[in-house]
Amino acid sequence: MLFRTFKSDFLQLSGGCLAYSEILPWEDHPNEYKKIVDLMARSTARVVIVFALKIHLIHLMTEVVKQNVTGLQWIASEAWTLVGGLHTPEFMPFLGGTLGIAIRRGEIPGFRDYLLKINPEEQNSANNMVKQFWEDTFHCRFSANWLEAGGTVCTGEEELRNAETELLDVTELRPEYNIYKAVYALAHALDDMLHCAPGRGPFIGHSCATLQKLEPWQLMYYLEKVNFTTPFGDQVFFDENGDALPIYDIMNWLWLPDGSTKVQNVGEVKRSVFKGEELTLDENKIFWNFKSNEPPTSVCSKSCPPGTHIARKRGKPVCCFDCIPCSEGKISNNTDSLECTSCPEDFWSSPQRDHCVLKRTEFLSYHEPLGICLTTTSLLGTFICTVVLGIFTYHRSTPMVRANNSELSFLLLVSLKLCFLCSLLFIGRPRLWTCQLRHAAFGISFVLCVSCILVKTMVVVAVFKASKPGGGTNLKWFGAIQQRGTVLVLTSIQAAICTAWLVSSSPTPHKNTQYHNDKVVYECAVGSTIGFGVLLGYIGVLAILSFLLAFLARNLPDNFNEAKFITFSMLIFCAVWVAFVPAYVNSPGKYADAVEVFAILASSFGLLVSLFGPKCYIILLKPERNTKNAIMGRETTKP
């Protein structure tokens, strides 16, 4: 019963656990003791608590010595902490440093003086105990026959103060001190009872108890209210269960260099009314029977540091566990955490998994190498468009510029410049206005560009047909007004598509946490996939139509050879955007924006170089070919 109570309290109050618990045989059974000691030797527990009587402990220690099981810290119960017969040279190498509890040592004022006044002559003749004590102490007898036998007769006048006997040693009063407190508790209860004022008593009718008719329950009433302090400084009080406040000395077995043993007091454990349970230890006085002279570490598993959590071992005590690192995104910031907690959405676990850190943000930035390259390329394309536009403006009266539909060429250059510039909206931290504007600007700019190319192709075909007999009527449908109107209508359709998309399901900034666990990817959610698909599809339809018309007109005479350049430019344009779709779908985060920017720049450069490169070459480097005759194919070649 005592062990079960200890086990329950130990687990609940100390937070520790028992690696094993065994019952010592009542009789001497060597095989049973051998099994127990074998278990002690195999266990990782370094502290052994033993509740046993002296005889059982002797059997246990005999087997411990036999197997030479060292390195254990022994904790003694009150039954054998101060018992003799265990401080032997055989046992002390193993039991040295033992810690145990003992009944509180106290002092009883005047007790030694009372003992010194004992005299067998003054005691009742029936009290043989005093006479026996006297005879044993002074090695004499009160019988006259003892003198005849050659012994010493006791006179009763022997000096007790000079006698050597343990009965006069009042420095280790332990059970005696408890008896002293019990007697005084009873005395205080009786004193309170005798001071009861008639008519103000605690019993029925406010009556008081009397010594002549004292009932046990009446005395119990006063005992429950006892509360006093002994001259030694200990408080005597009974709790609601009728138990006295516990107080014990903590003893330590000191093994001295000369082989002798000293049991010293190193602290106390007690419970008081106001302070509760208290443990006081003088750690500097404790003798540890280890080479390090430090307390042993007795754990099944070391504490799990922050960043890990406890995983119990099946079939093992609760203090036996593994420390499992927290998974990504989870942390534990306390020692011996039972589980890990998830970080908030915008946070991620640190490398040590002991705290949450703000997730890194990712987007196509102007400050990273990729963003710098794309920005530089975009600005370069814009600059080239500006230069070409300046060249065409400066040479606007030359046959090369006038023969290639100068108005559409200027509009095409402006639209290409817008295409280059709209790519900048895809770089930088996504915001609501950039998300809404980027695809609208991209869609309208490219439709304007492709519309100009489509109209130029249609004009080339119409002019060619008009050069044939009876084909003059074709040109009236492709005058300047019709060209402008066609471009305006085709671009307006794209503008309507963009408006409907923005109104119904506008693109918005979105924090994507699916691509990377430790990063937040800022991107623009397209809102309506159908709207985005229609925008791209419309550009594709116009591009394919331009490509087909230019392809059919590729074999026109040399003076109308712009169809070949349009065919090549549309081939580049379609190839870029066909490759864009799978690349865009499979590119996560900022790389999707980078792919789209690359497609915009690549297709824009393809159109710029294919359509205006040959013309600028002739205007700047071959001015002799920038004549009406050369363009019309009437210039004769010198032999």
The mean pLDDT value for 223-248 works out to: 88
Beta bridge partners of 355: none
Residue 266 has pLDDT above 70, yes or no: yes
Same domain, 535 and 576: yes
Residue 637 has pLDDT above 50, yes or no: no
Q: What is the pLDDT of residue 560?
A: 47
Strand order in the sheet with 47-50: 47-50, 73-76, 99-103, 247-255, 261-272, 276-281
126-140, 316-330, 525-539: range with lowest mean pLDDT: 126-140
Tokens of 8: 């329950």
Question: Residue 226 domain-assigned?
Answer: yes
Same domain, 408 and 319: no
Q: Which of 84-98, 387-401, 609-623 has the highest mean pLDDT?
A: 84-98
Same domain, 539 and 473: yes
The mean pLDDT value for 457-471 works out to: 65
Q: What is the pLDDT of residues 160-213, one digit of tens each?
A: 888 877 778 888 888 889 999 999 999 999 999 999 988 888 888 888 988 888
Contact predicate 543/573, CB 8 Å: yes
The mean pLDDT value for 539-557 works out to: 79
Higher pLDDT, 239 or 150: 239
57-66, 150-159, 237-246, 525-534: range with lowest mean pLDDT: 150-159
Q: Which of 511-515, 532-536, 623-627 has the highest mean pLDDT?
A: 532-536
Residue 486 phi/psi, 5° resolution? -65, -45
The mean pLDDT value for 329-343 works out to: 90
The mean pLDDT value for 533-556 works out to: 82
Question: Residue 286 domain-assigned?
Answer: no
Q: What is the pLDDT of residue 265?
A: 93
CATH code for the domain of 51: 3.40.50.2300
What is the percentage of the chain residues whose pLDDT exceeds 70? 89
Position 638 confidence tier, pLDDT thresholds 50, 70, 90: very low
Same domain, 330 and 395: no
Same domain, 329 and 469: no
Q: What is the pLDDT of residue 212?
A: 84
Strand order in the sheet with 508-512: 360-362, 519-525, 508-512
- Tell me the three state secondary structure of residue 103: strand
Higher pLDDT, 315 or 15: 315
Q: How buried is residue 378: exposed, middle or buried, by Cβ count under 10 Å (0-12/13-18/19+)?
A: buried
Average pLDDT, the chain: 84
- Tell me the three state secondary structure of residue 68: coil
Q: Which of 93-102, 252-261, 509-518 has the highest mean pLDDT?
A: 93-102
Same domain, 217 and 336: no
Question: Residue 638 domain-assigned?
Answer: no
Same domain, 135 and 276: no
Position 267 confidence tier, pLDDT thresholds 50, 70, 90: very high
Same domain, 510 and 579: yes
In single-letter form, the type of residue at position 200 comes to: R
Higher pLDDT, 566 or 14: 566
Q: What is the pLDDT of residue 556?
A: 61
- Tell me the three state secondary structure of residue 232: coil
Position 321 confidence tier, pLDDT thresholds 50, 70, 90: confident
Q: What is the pLDDT of residues 391-446, one digit of tens each?
A: 888 888 887 777 666 788 888 889 999 999 998 988 888 888 888 888 889 889 98
C-beta neighbour count of 199 within 10 angstroms? 9
Contact predicate 112/168, CB 8 Å: yes
Residue 474 has pLDDT above 60, yes or no: no
The boundaries of the domain holding residue 153 are: 120-169
Residue 615 has pLDDT above 80, yes or no: yes
Q: What is the pLDDT of residue 239?
A: 84
Q: How buried is residue 464: exposed, middle or buried, by Cβ count under 10 Å (0-12/13-18/19+)?
A: middle
pTM, entire model: 0.56
- Cα distance between residue 585 and residue 562, in whole Å: 35
Q: How buried is residue 402: exposed, middle or buried, by Cβ count under 10 Å (0-12/13-18/19+)?
A: middle
Residue 360 has pLDDT above 60, yes or no: yes
Same domain, 411 and 518: yes
Question: Residue 115 domain-assigned?
Answer: no
Q: What is the pLDDT of residue 636?
A: 45
Q: Which of 7-11, 185-189, 288-292, 633-637 has the highest mean pLDDT?
A: 185-189
Q: How many residues does the chain have?
A: 639
Same domain, 204 and 348: no
Q: Domain count of the chain? A: 5
Residue 121 has pLDDT above 80, yes or no: no
Q: What is the pLDDT of residue 463?
A: 66
Same domain, 570 and 503: yes
Question: Which of 191-200's residues contact partners 24+ apart within 8 Å by CB, and which partners?
Answer: 192/222, 192/225, 192/226, 193/218, 193/219, 193/222
Beta bridge partners of 102: 249
Q: What is the pLDDT of residue 639?
A: 39
Question: Residue 419 domain-assigned?
Answer: yes
The mean pLDDT value for 126-145 works out to: 78
Rg (CA), the chain: 53
Q: What is the pLDDT of residues 383-392, one digit of tens each?
A: 999 999 998 8
Question: Residue 132 domain-assigned?
Answer: yes
Residue 634 has pLDDT above 50, yes or no: no
Question: Residue 580 domain-assigned?
Answer: yes
Position 60 confidence tier, pLDDT thresholds 50, 70, 90: very high
Position 632 confidence tier, pLDDT thresholds 50, 70, 90: low
Question: Residue 294 domain-assigned?
Answer: no
Same domain, 412 and 478: yes
Residue 564 has pLDDT above 80, yes or no: no
